[in-house]
Structure 1
């Protein structure tokens, strides 16, 4: 089985990033991989509790 992770621009509803992983890869492991290549400022991330880890914390 696989999971599809999407990053969506809330204003335009455009999918700005996508990542497919096996189900045993944690959601918190995928977020930095999903967002780091984006060439835009991320103002907010809305996600469930599985993303509440140090790896998913902003670095500003």
Structure 2
């Protein structure tokens, strides 16, 4: 996360993208886990990158 934020500051938030993958569904990581984690990351990274669509 810190590296993404630093890179965004250096080259511009319109030039960086982030991905949430791979997504592995299991008893340990159900869909709800991934939905929560994605939301958390989107909140943290949104000031440093383009809007999530």
- Which structure has more relative contact order (CA 8 Å, sep 6+)? It is 2
TM-score w.r.t. the length of structure 1 is 0.29
Structure with greater helix percent: 2
Structure with greater strand percent: 1
Larger of the two Rg values belongs to structure? 2
